[in-house]
Homo-oligomer: A and B are copies of this chain.
Amino acid sequence: MALKVSVYIATSLDGFIARKNGDIDWLTGGESGGDYGYADFMSTIDYVVMGRNTYEKVLTFGGWGYDKKVIVLSSKKIKIKDKLKDKVEVLNLGPKKLVKEIEKRKAKHIYLDGGVTIQRFLREGLVDEMTITTIPVLIGEGLPLFGELAKDIKLKLLQSQSFKNSFVQNKYKVL
């Protein structure tokens, strides 16, 4: 069976995943306390794949939030802290080669994180599913989830769910 590539991300209603400086202070759920299906999703994941920018931003959050292996895609050398050495791997691979590499490892499901990485994989037709949680705020500018495309990409809604705190989570299959 081929590798499944999924996106699981939150955006502002105007489509940003972070402010220009990377801040996600606007990304608060109030008192909901739920995890919006994140733990269930993560339990199916073999690798988290992200770009260097996202990796460096995640480091600033303090504490390491991933209990799965993380692959950082980067054409530059990155120094990985000792305590993350068995958790983080840096690969200088484009989307297609990364998928091949992961398939060789017999993994079944990867989780793409970060706008640039998601956009690169979408442009190459390598994303299978996207779970997008829309936060009820307009922030005006920031880092966009989506970018330019060579052609339209159609999707099919697999699931739609709204929460008391006004979050809306839609799960799409990329056609």
Q: A: which residues have CB within 8 A of B?
A: 13-15, 26, 122, 132, 134, 136-141, 145-157, 160, 162, 166-168, 170, 172
Contacts and interface: CB of A to CB of B under 8 A. Distances in A.
Contacts of A140: 146-152
For the residues of A in contact with B, the DSSP-based class is loop
A136 B172 contact: yes
Given A14-B146, A146-B14, A155 B170 contact: no
| Copies of this protein, total | 2
7 contacts: A13-B146, A15-B15, A136-B154, A136-B157, A137-B152, A140-B146, A141-B149
Contacts of A160: 160, 162, 168
A162 B157 contact: yes
Given A13-B146, A15-B14, A162-B160, A155 B138 contact: yes
A137 B152 CA distance: 7
By CB atoms of chain B within 10 A, which of A26, A122, A137, A146 has the most? A146
Given A134-B170, A137-B153, A140-B150, 4 more contacts: A13-B172, A136-B155, A137-B152, A137-B154
A127 to B, nearest CB: 10
A136 B156 contact: yes
B152 A138 contact: yes
Given A15-B14, A146-B14, A162-B160, A153 B172 contact: no
A137 B141 CA distance: 22
B170 A168 contact: yes
